[in-house]
Amino acid sequence: MRALHRWRRPAVTVAATLTALTLGTGIASAGPGGWDRPTPGSDGAGDSYYPQDGNGGYEVSDYDLKVNYAPDTHQLAGLQTVHAKATQSLSSFDLDLRGLTVDAVRVNGAPAKFTRTGDHELVITPKSPLWKGLPFTTEVAYHGVPAAIDDPNLGKNGWQFTKSGGAFAAGEPKSATTWYPVNDTPRNKAKFRLSITVPDEWGVIANGREVGKYRTRAGTTHVWAEDTPTASYMTTVAIDKWTFNKRQRADGTPIVSAYAPGTTDATKQADAQLPEVLDFLESKFGKYPVDAAGGIYLTEPIGFSLETMSRPIYSGRAGNISTIVHENAHQWWGDTVAVDHWKDVCLNECFASYATWLWAQKNGEDLDATYRTKVASASDQFWAGKLYDMGPGHEFTYVYSKGPVMLHALSKYLGQEAFDQVLKTWNSVHHNGNASMQEFQKYCEKVSGMDLQGFFDAWIYGNGKPSDEYLYPGDLKPAAG
C-alpha cells in the first residue's frame, strides 16, 4: 500500500442462486474411534491487532466465486465455493462476511445451519462433523448492496463505487469481507477464481489471468484466475468502461493494465514503463514471483494505492512511476511473502519504499547523500516512529519514511554484498508463505555471519534515535569537520 493523504437488470434471483447450491459435491466424513471430539472453530485467527479477523479450525486452499453485479442498483448476488481442510475436528466454523444477506449454506453438499454474530461472523454448523485432516467444501449463496469499511486513517476500504457508475474492491488490512465470504487473515493464503457477470457495456479486470469471457442472458461473464496463493485483502475486482493495454514480458508473462475513463496521458506513459520496472525489480529481488502483471488505474482520488496480487490498483492521483515501483515491489515484499502478523508490516512497506530509492539510484541519485540529508533533517517525532509493533491503526505511518532510511543503514552495516544477497534470496526462502521480523533478522544474521541484535533493537524494535554505531555504519560516517 502507498497512502495518499441505463440497462435492464440481469434476471438473477436468489432462487436461481439457491438452485445452484444443489450442485454441491462430496459427503460428510465420519471419523474413526479415537479421533478428537468435534468442537467449534475459533472465531478469530488471533492476530494481536485484529484478533477477530480470520478464523480457526480449517485452512482454505482455494475460493471459486461466482458473482452477478448490477451497476444501476449496486446489487450483488454471489455464490462462493470454499475448498478447505479441517485442522481440528469441527462441530461448527466461521467465515467472515460484512453486511450482505446470506440465503443458504451447504457443507459437503448438505444443507447447513448458519447464524450471524458480531459485525462480520458467519457461523456455520454442518449436518455432520468435519474431521481433522480431511477436506471439505462449503457453498454460500448471498446477496445485497456491498458497503465499504470506513477507516479513520485511509478512508473507505473494501467495495467502493465510482462516479462513472462502476465499482472496485480495495483495502488493507480489510477489504474482501465486504463482497464475499472469506477466512480473512493473511496467514491463510489461497488461490482465487472469479466469474463475474455484468452488463455487456461494462468491462472487468481482476487478479491473475483472464481465462474466459462469454455472453449470457444476463450480460457478459468474465472469468479471472489467480493461481498464486493470495491473502484475501490482496484480491480485487474492478468494473468500469476500461481501456486495456495488453503486453507481455520477455518470458511470456502477460501484462494487462486497465485505464478508467479520464486516465491522463502521464499515467499511461508511466504504466508504459512497467516492463522496465519489473525487469529492474527482478534484478534486485530475484525472479518475478507471480505469473501475471499489470495495473488497475482508477480516476477516483482514493486515499491509497494498493499492491493487489499481480495487478496493483492505483488511486487517480497516484499513477506515477514512483508509486508503480512501490506497488510492484510488493509482489516480492508483502504479496508472495506476506506478514505473519500485522505488527510485521515493515516487511511489506519498508522494502517497497526502499525500492523507490533503488529506482532513483538507477537513475543517478546518490543514496548516501539522500540518507545523510534525511538523517540531518529528521525530527524527534521521526525518530520516535516505530517500525515494529506500532499498534493497530498505526501500521501505515513511519514505515514509508523511516523504513527506507533504516534499510539503507542496514545495507552499510551488513556490507553491500550480504545485503544484496538478502534482498535477492528472501522471497525464494519464504515464497508463497508468511514471515516475521524476527525471521528476517535471523536470515540477515545467517547471510552476514553477524550478530544484529543491536542494530535491530536500535532501528526496528526500539523507537529512539540510534547511536552513531548504527546511525553511521560503514562509509555513511560524516566527514570529520
pTM above 0.85, yes or no: yes
The answer to whether the beta carbons of residues 138 and 124 sit under 8 Å apart is: yes
| pLDDT 10s digits, 359-383 | 999 999 999 999 999 999 999 999 9
pLDDT digits (tens, 9 = 90+) for 321-354: 999 999 999 999 999 999 999 999 999 999 999 9
DSSP 8-state secondary structure symbol assigned to residue 465: P
pLDDT band at residue 20 using 50, 70 and 90 as cut-offs: very low
Instruction: Give 305's strand partners.
Output: 2
Alpha helix (H) ranges present in 272-401? Answer: 274-285, 321-329, 346-362, 367-377, 380-384
pLDDT one-digit tens code per residue, 232-275: 999 999 999 999 999 999 999 999 999 999 999 999 999 999 99
Kindly list the distances between the CA atom of residue 109 and the CA atoms of 1, 20, 116, 128, in Å, as whole numbers in the listed order. 39, 11, 21, 11
The confidence score (pLDDT) of residue 480 equals 59
d(CA 404, CA 398): 10
Whether residue 5 has pLDDT greater than 50: no
- What is the torsional sign of CA 464, 5, 235, 81? positive
pLDDT at 25: 40
Tens digit of pLDDT for each residue in 147-177?
Answer: 999 988 767 899 999 998 999 999 999 999 9
Residues facing residue 214 across a β-bridge? 221
Tell me the C-alpha distance between 297 and 319, whole Å. Answer: 7
Angle between helices 274-285 and 346-362 (to 10 degrees): 110
Q: What is the pLDDT of residues 185-213, one digit of tens each?
A: 999 999 999 999 999 999 999 999 999 99
35: nearest Cα among 85, 94, 83, 90: 90
Distant-in-sequence, close-in-space partners of 181: CB < 8 Å, separation ≥ 6: 80, 82, 95, 96, 97, 102, 122, 140, 142
For residue 173, cis peptide bond before it (omega within 30 degrees of 0): yes
Domains detected in the chain: 38-233 (2.60.40.1730), 242-332 (3.30.2010.30), 342-472 (1.10.390.10)
